[in-house]
Amino acid sequence: MSDERPITRIRVEALHPALSAEAAQWAARLGLPLAGQAEFALQLGEQGLQLAELGPQAPGPIRVDFVEGAVAHRRLYGGGSGQMIAKAVGVQPGVRPRVLDATAGLGRDAFVLASLGCAVTLSERQPIIAALLEDGLARAQRDAEVAPIAAQMRLLQGNAIELMRDWQGEPPQVIYLDPMFPHRDKSALVKKEMRLFRPLVGDDLDAPALLQAALALASHRVVVKRPRKAPIIEGAKPSYALEGKSSRYDIYPKKALKPQG
Binding-site residue set for S-adenosyl-L-methionine: 108-109, 124-125, 178
Distance CA 182, CA 189 (A): 15
Dihedral over Cα of 177, 182, 186, 188: its sign: positive
99 strand-pairing partners: 120, 174
Query: Whose CA is closest to 203, among 184, 225, 167, 179?
Result: 179
Q: Is 195 helix (H, G, I), strand (E, B) or coil?
A: helix
Q: How far apart are CA 176 and CA 184, in angstroms?
A: 21
H runs (alpha helix) in the chain: 20-30, 69-77, 84-89, 108-115, 127-141, 147-150, 160-165, 188-201, 207-217
H helix intervals, 90-206: 108-115, 127-141, 147-150, 160-165, 188-201
Give the annotated binding-site residues.
108-109, 124-125, 178
Return d(Cα 139, Cα 225) in angstroms, integer: 27
Quote the CA–CA distance of 85 and 75 in Å, as a whole number: 13
